[in-house]
Chains A and B, each alone.
Chain A
Amino acid sequence: MNQIVATMAGNVWKIVVSVGEKIEEGQDVVILESMKMEIPIAAEASGVVKEIHVQEGDFVNEGDILLELE
């Protein structure tokens, strides 16, 4: 199992994957918006999206879990 965490504080602008989707290492999964910039968050490993912990519009802190892969 693999967790994808926010690399910085910001708003969740877009979630670009859905539960059950197979994703590749390096693929963007969530786009955060911080300091007026879009910050793509990429998966560090390949896997299937098991659970998404955030919703679009949520505020997250650095280190918060965005989603889990399996």
Chain B
Amino acid sequence: MFKKVLVANRGEIAARVIRTCRRLGIQTVAIYSEADAASLHVKWADEAYLIGKPRVSESYLNIEKIIEIAKTTKAEAIHPGYGLLSENPAFARRCEEEGIVFIGPNADVIAKMGSKIESRKTMAEAGVPIVPGISFPLQNVEEAMSTAATIGYPIMLKASAGGGGIGMQIVHNEEELRKAFEGNQKRATSFFGDGAMYLEKYIQNPRHIEVQLLADRHGNYVYLWERECSIQRRHQKVIEEAPSLFLDEQTRKKMGETAIQAAKYIGYTNAGTIEFLVDEQKNFYFLEMNTRLQVEHPVTEEITGLDLVEEQLRVAAGEKLGYSQEHIQRRGHAIEVRIYAEDPKTFFPSPGAITAFQLPEGEHIRNETAVQSGMVVTPFYDPMIAKLIVKGENRKEAIDRMLQALDSYQIEGIKTNIPMLKEVLTHPAFQAGHTTTDFVNRHLSNISIKK
């Protein structure tokens, strides 16, 4: 096992990775920007280094600076967390070149899965079901129109390099497609430097259900069941749970085995997630693969009893998975909510100073955060400031416990989405399991998203 690991991330995920390292007796090196000096991830690490100004391009995305700190501090491995450099093949390659272990799959696999078009093509070759659509970028709006006519409306128009919901739009007819194509292509070019667009059939009333998997470097693969992540706003997840109420055992097994089949085909190693869209008839289609730890990994940890960061470290250090598929437990029901610093009605960000912060506590409650009372939530990063995870014997108990925990969640000075989370959790449609990806727009009152 490693003696020292650098955590190339910030906030709650950096703090969470550091916690597991400490438990395993691994020394930790944190990096931080000028805006994050007070963050818990800086306090908890054995060493911490200021790497630059608040903007990510001048701090957390500075590959050479991070490599330099890893070398100076003699860190043997780098944990990239999620977001930032976690799915950047150039970063993984630089680590490889310097003899630093990148805790994740190899650079080629990251590159292949990082492109929506390339990953779709690869998954089709691997025999994984994909949503009807195209595997090559559209030349122009005319081609978009003729392709859409063949597949049939409604269509989902996507930017190849998009992510986090940016660059995606549902279109219902030719006129909408024409408008959306030009606007989105322009935006994708300016946002991502890549205007490649493609389209696919829009699945009606879909659920977003993903499969967590682990693979070691010795050819062993396991799947750690599924996470249901359909409750989203602005195409970003808000509430995640495991297991999914919607899946029957047969579908669960089929999805798990399909995920393994995909991972084997690309020679995947470490922790990864295959995201699927699941339609009303429980047909599932490959959406994308995340070649890193997910934000919502704690719900999987709660039902399996595994620590995914520990598993990542072990696999990266060359150890074998210590168990096979039939040993993976699935006990109880876990729910995670993401606490966002944002207006609960418009979903616009709400940066500012946190004047009071008191987390709920209890046997079945888990908090993940790197903020404290008195800290300032800055406009430079993602608005997610904390995660709250609860576990119950069953889904109903988990929902009840989550509502109780949210009642005692005290945060003042900034707006948060807690009122919206409570509205979802108390909604009869959520409680009945009608968790489709349009839940927020369909069922919540007074939501006013400005387009």
- A34 near B450 with CB under 8 A, answer no
- A8 near B383 with CB under 8 A, answer no
B351 contacts the other chain (CB 8 A): yes
CA A10 – CA B350 in complex, angstroms? 11
Contact of A34 among B55, B164, B234, B349 (CB under 8 A): B349
- A9 near B379 with CB under 8 A, answer yes
- B348 near A39 with CB under 8 A, answer yes
Contact of A35 among B55, B379, B450 (CB under 8 A): B379
Q: Write the residues of chain B forming the contact surface with A, with a CB cutoff of 8 angstroms.
A: 55, 164, 234, 341-342, 348-351, 378-383, 450
- A40 near B349 with CB under 8 A, answer no
Closest chain-A Cβ to B39's Cβ sits at a distance in Å of 16
A sample of 11 inter-chain contacts (CB < 8 A) reads A7-B348, A8-B349, A8-B350, A8-B379, A10-B379, A34-B351, A35-B351, A36-B381, A36-B382, A39-B348, A39-B349
A37 contacts the other chain (CB 8 A): yes
- A37 near B349 with CB under 8 A, answer yes
| Residue of A10, A35, A36, A37 with most partner-chain B CB within 10 A | A35
The digit string for A25-54, where 1 denotes a CB below 8 A from any CB of B, is 000000000111101100000000000000
CA A39 – CA B449 in complex, angstroms? 11
Collect the chain B residues with CB atoms within 8 Å of residue A9's CB: 351, 378-379
Collect the chain A residues with CB atoms within 8 Å of residue B351's CB: 8-10, 34-35
Q: 5 closest Cβ contacts across the A-B interface?
A: A35-B349, A34-B379, A35-B383, A9-B379, A10-B379
The residue on B at minimum CB distance from A37 is B349
The residue on B at minimum CB distance from A9 is B379
Interface residues of A, count at CB 8 A: 11
Collect the chain B residues with CB atoms within 8 Å of residue A7's CB: 348
- B450 near A37 with CB under 8 A, answer no
The digit string for A8-28, where 1 denotes a CB below 8 A from any CB of B, is 111100000000000000000
Collect the chain A residues with CB atoms within 8 Å of residue B378's CB: 9
Collect the chain A residues with CB atoms within 8 Å of residue B348's CB: 7-8, 37, 39
Contact of A37 among B55, B380, B383 (CB under 8 A): B383
CA A28 – CA B31 in complex, angstroms? 38
Given A8-B351, A10-B349: 8 more A-B contacts, CB < 8 Å: A8-B348, A9-B378, A10-B351, A11-B379, A34-B349, A35-B341, A39-B348, A40-B450
Closest chain-B Cβ to A64's Cβ sits at a distance in Å of 12
Closest chain-A Cβ to B37's Cβ sits at a distance in Å of 18
| Residue of B234, B348, B383 with most partner-chain A CB within 10 A | B348
Collect the chain A residues with CB atoms within 8 Å of residue B350's CB: 8
Closest chain-A Cβ to B82's Cβ sits at a distance in Å of 13
The residue on B at minimum CB distance from A33 is B379
CA A37 – CA B351 in complex, angstroms? 12
CA A36 – CA B349 in complex, angstroms? 9
CA A8 – CA B415 in complex, angstroms? 12
Collect the chain B residues with CB atoms within 8 Å of residue A34's CB: 349, 351, 379
The residue on A at minimum CB distance from B341 is A35
Collect the chain B residues with CB atoms within 8 Å of residue A39's CB: 348-349
CA A34 – CA B234 in complex, angstroms? 15
CA A11 – CA B57 in complex, angstroms? 13
Collect the chain A residues with CB atoms within 8 Å of residue B381's CB: 35-36
Collect the chain A residues with CB atoms within 8 Å of residue B450's CB: 40
CA A7 – CA B349 in complex, angstroms? 10
